[in-house]
């Protein structure tokens, strides 16, 4: 007897809100957390989950550029436009999935970056027995109802907390059932979550115990908490790189993306930017991803004369693919001439631009070897670099 087919599950991420309670210029889902957009965190988790067949995001079309930057490089479905309320955004998102016709849909707030694979698994598992699966955490504090007298708040009553839970997301449902429930609810009172919409339609919604860390970023204090949690979950790694290029007759030396006019140039297969090569190797070293020669073999004609920012940007992308970010880079250029000092600031600015880092996270230094050795004799230029990278801790 063959086993039943695996249900197709799509994650529907609602990201069309304005984040008014956060009070920032950008909607909170596009603010940076741990080096990437808040939205990107949950997209990465759903996208790499083996039981999630697709990810659709509901956005405000006015934020399309912000969305494109946040979701760059991810192979997910085209985003769709949301509405004026969360409920309307979910309904529009569900409507956009009719053709894809998943068995299950997991509706998730973009503003909950700490959703984990295990909670996703337990939500999906629950849907094999129930029409809905709601991730919750139990209420642990004593609950009070406040009453106002003469402009001040007083404790009015103590509410029995037994059996009370706080609703999180994802909220998972059998697709056809929640689509019908949302359509039916569209003319009634606004509801703040999908479980309420499902309850109104008479669907059974089972509770799935979630995790306190899966909180929703709502106020500035939540963002500060998220940043603390994020840094606890990261580990720091350091890599070093070293490179040398020969000086030959020419009209300028390219180092760290800056051309210094000079009667010589650096010889190499690419543009021979010795500083960027050392830095690229340092970043690759920090994430255990081999060296520059493995990624861009000198034997490959496509890299002849290539600008080295491509190598650096590739190394940075690999860091991002691992959920990490570059924290700091330190480069030392070793040569007698041309003088590097007057160009250090421009070099740091160029590297900061390529890596999307604040310029104070980049250090460019220079030294001579007191006329000793090949650098001292002006036969070539060497560079060494150190890169510090934050990566999600693996154990």
Ligand X SMILES: C[C@](O)(CO)[C@H](O)COP(=O)(O)O
Ligand Y SMILES: Nc1ccn([C@@H]2O[C@H](COP(=O)(O)OP(=O)(O)OP(=O)(O)O)[C@@H](O)[C@H]2O)c(=O)n1
| Residue owning tokens 């909180």 | 215
Region 153-212 residues binding ligand X, contact defined as CB under 6 A: 167-169, 192-193
Q: Is there a binding annotation on residue 290?
A: no
Q: Is there a binding annotation on residue 328?
A: no
Q: Is there a binding annotation on residue 243?
A: yes
- What CA–CA distance (Å, rounded) separates 45 from 23? 27
Of 144, 203, 139, which Cα lies nearest the Cα of 171? 203
Partner touching 126 among ligand X, ligand Y, none, CB below 5 to 8 Å by kind: none
Partner touching 14 among ligand Y, ligand X, none, CB below 5 to 8 Å by kind: ligand Y
Cα–Cα distance list, 197 to 11, 82, 184 (Å): 18, 17, 9
Q: Are strands 54-59 and 80-81 parallel, antiparallel or unpaired?
A: parallel
- What CA–CA distance (Å, rounded) separates 276 from 175? 50
Environment class of 151 (CB within 10 Å of its CB; exposed 0-12, middle 13-18, buried 19+)? exposed
- What CA–CA distance (Å, rounded) separates 378 from 350? 25
Distance, CA of 189 to chain centre: 35
Phi and psi torsions of 110, nearest 5°: -60, -25
3-state DSSP assignment of residue 327: strand
When asked if residue 209 is in the footprint of ligand Y (CB under 6 A), the reply is no
When asked if residue 85 is in the footprint of ligand Y (CB under 6 A), the reply is yes
Other CB atoms within a 10 A radius of the CB of residue 260 amount to 17
- 223-251 burial: b if 16+ Cβ within 10 Å, else e: beebeebbeeebeebebebebbbebeeee
DSSP structure string for 217-285: --SHHHHHHHHHHHHHTEEEEEEEEEEEEEEEESSEEEETTEEEE-SEEE--SS---HHHHHHHHHHHH
When asked if residue 308 is in the footprint of ligand X (CB under 6 A), the reply is no
Pick from 216, 245, 277, 343 the residue near ligand X by CB under 6 A. Answer: 216
Q: Is 46 left (phi over 0), alpha (psi -120 to 50) or beta?
A: alpha
Site string for ligand X, 84-123 (x = CB under 6 A): --x----------------------x--------------
Q: How far is the CB of 390 from ligand X (least distance, A)?
A: 28
Q: How far is the CB of 21 from ligand X (least distance, A)?
A: 8
Partner touching 254 among ligand X, ligand Y, none, CB below 5 to 8 Å by kind: none
Region 20-39 residues binding ligand Y, contact defined as CB under 6 A: 20-21, 27, 29
Report which residue's Cβ sits closest to ligand Y: 17
Q: Which one, 52 or 134, has the nearer CB to ligand X?
A: 134
Q: Which one, 216 or 350, has the nearer CB to ligand X?
A: 216
When asked if residue 182 is in the footprint of ligand Y (CB under 6 A), the reply is no
Site string for ligand Y, 101-140 (x = CB under 6 A): --------xxx-----------------------------
Q: How far is the CB of 92 from ligand Y (least distance, A)?
A: 9
Q: Which one, 105 or 282, has the nearer CB to ligand X?
A: 105
- What CA–CA distance (Å, rounded) separates 93 from 175? 12
Q: Which one, 83 or 252, has the nearer CB to ligand Y?
A: 83
Q: Is there a binding annotation on residue 291?
A: yes
Partner touching 193 among ligand Y, ligand X, none, CB below 5 to 8 Å by kind: ligand X
Q: Is there a binding annotation on residue 326?
A: no
Region 356-385 residues binding ligand Y, contact defined as CB under 6 A: none
- What CA–CA distance (Å, rounded) separates 137 from 215? 10
* Interface stretch with ligand Y, choices 76-84, 155-163, 260-268, 366-374 (CB under 6 A): 76-84
- Site residues (vs ligand Y, CB under 6 A): 14-21, 27, 29, 58, 82-86, 89, 109-111, 216, 218
**Binding-site residue ranges:** 243-245, 269-270, 277, 291-293, 367-370, 374, 377
Residues annotated in a binding site for a divalent metal cation: 243, 245, 277
């Amino acid at each position: 007897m063959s086993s039943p087919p695996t249900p197709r599950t799509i994650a529907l991420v609602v990201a069309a809100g304005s984040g008014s309670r956060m009070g920032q210029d950008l909607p909170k889902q596009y603010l940076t957390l741990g080096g990437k957009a808040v939205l990107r965190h949950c997209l990465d988790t759903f996208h790499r989950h083996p039981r999630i067949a697709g990810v659709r995001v509901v956005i405000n079309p006015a934020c399309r550029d912000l969305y494109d930057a946040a979701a760059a490089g991810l192979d997910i479905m085209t985003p769709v436009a949301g509405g004026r309320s969360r409920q309307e955004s979910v309904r529009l998102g569900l409507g956009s999935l009719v053709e894809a016709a998943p068995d299950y849909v997991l509706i998730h707030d973009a503003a909950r970056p700490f959703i984990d694979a295990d909670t996703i698994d337990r939500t999906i598992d629950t849907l094999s027995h129930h029409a809905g699966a709601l991730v919750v955490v139990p209420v642990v504090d004593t609950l009070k109802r406040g009453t106002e007298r003469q402009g001040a708040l007083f404790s009015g009553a103590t509410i029995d907390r037994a059996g009370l839970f706080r609703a999180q997301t994802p909220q998972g449902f059998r697709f056809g059932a929640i689509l019908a429930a949302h359509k039916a609810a569209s003319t009634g009172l606004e509801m703040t979550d999908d479980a309420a919409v499902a309850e109104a339609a008479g669907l059974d919604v089972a509770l799935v115990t979630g995790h306190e860390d899966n909180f929703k970023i709502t106020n500035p204090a939540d963002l500060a908490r998220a940043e603390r949690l994020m840094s606890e979950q990261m580990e720091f790694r350091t890599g070093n790189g070293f490179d040398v290029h020969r000086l030959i007759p020419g009209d300028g030396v390219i180092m760290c993306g800056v051309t210094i006019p000079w009667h010589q140039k650096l010889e190499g297969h690419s543009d021979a930017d010795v500083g960027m090569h050392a830095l690229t190797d340092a970043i690759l070293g920090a994430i255990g991803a081999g060296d520059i020669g493995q990624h861009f073999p000198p034997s490959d004609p496509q890299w002849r004369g290539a600008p080295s920012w491509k190598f650096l940007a590739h190394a940075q992308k690999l860091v991002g693919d691992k959920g990490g970010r570059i924290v700091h880079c330190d480069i030392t250029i070793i040569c007698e001439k041309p003088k590097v000092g007057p160009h250090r600031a421009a070099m740091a600015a160029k590297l900061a631009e390529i890596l999307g880092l604040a310029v104070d996270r980049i250090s460019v230094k220079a030294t001579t070897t007191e006329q000793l050795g090949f650098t001292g004799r002006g036969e070539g230029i060497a560079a060494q670099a150190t890169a510090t990278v934050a990566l999600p801790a693996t154990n």
